[in-house]
């Protein structure tokens, strides 16, 4: 079984913001596989279903971004998946809008939500899907930038990146993280 967690902030105030791109990908995945993400458990909004023949739990932690690890830890303790079957989806300011990066493991970088997850799970050996949101314009505070909404010409590439992230997650489950990396990393058209 897999736990697929999209990181974000709960509440209407944050709906559609850059920091909530993980929530958006979970919504797309839920829609594609007819999974209702509507139960509050383990400090998250969750839904259970099947993707590529595997049982999955889709999760949107409700702890606010910087404490995302609290929810992931509770989910992991309850469902007890292998650590490499936890997939975390989140925004990345170091990638241009529309770029996605799938990795089998690695550091959190400057992302506070991922820092919390890695700290509380006490490991970084799980796959992650990072979606580029771009860097803040000169003079704009990072916190203000990540809680702002996409505008203008950013919208379409980001939407396509989220759709590719969904396909990438399906590929991780069906064929493994290496295959997903070779097919979906970067921007632009799928290779296979």
| Residues that are catalytic | 19
Cα gap 21→40, rounded to integer Å:
20
Cα gap 22→141, rounded to integer Å:
21
Contact status, residue 144 vs residue 93, Cβ threshold 8 Å = no
Angle (CA) 154-18-30 rounded to 5° is 100
Q: Which residue has the tokens 């975390």?
A: 88
Residues 6+ apart with CB under 8 A from 105: 124, 125, 126, 127, 128
Q: Which two tokens stand for residue 23?
A: 């929530």
Q: Which two tokens stand for residue 180?
A: 């997903």
Considering just the CA atoms, what is the radius of gyration of the chain in Å? 15
């Amino acid at each position: 079984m897999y736990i697929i967690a999209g990181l974000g902030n709960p509440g209407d105030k944050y709906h559609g913001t850059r920091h909530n791109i993980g929530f958006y990908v979970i919504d797309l995945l839920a829609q594609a596989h007819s999974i209702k993400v509507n139960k509050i458990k383990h400090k998250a909004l969750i839904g259970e279903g099947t993707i590529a023949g595997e049982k999955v739990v889709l999760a949107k932690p409700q702890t606010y971004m910087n404490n995302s690890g609290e929810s992931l830890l509770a989910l992991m303790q309850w469902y007890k998946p292998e650590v490499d079957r936890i997939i975390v989806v989140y925004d990345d300011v170091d990638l241009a809008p529309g770029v996605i990066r799938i990795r089998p493991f690695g550091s959190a970088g400057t992302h506070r939500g991922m820092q919390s997850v890695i700290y509380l799970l006490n490991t970084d050996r799980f796959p992650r899907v990072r979606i580029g949101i771009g860097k803040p314009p000169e003079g704009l505070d990072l916190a203000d930038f990540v809680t702002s909404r996409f505008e203008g010409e950013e919208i379409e590439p980001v939407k396509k990146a989220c759709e590719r992230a969904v396909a990438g997650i399906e590929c991780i489950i069906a064929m493994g993280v290496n295959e997903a990396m070779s097919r979906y990393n970067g921007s632009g058209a799928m290779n296979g």
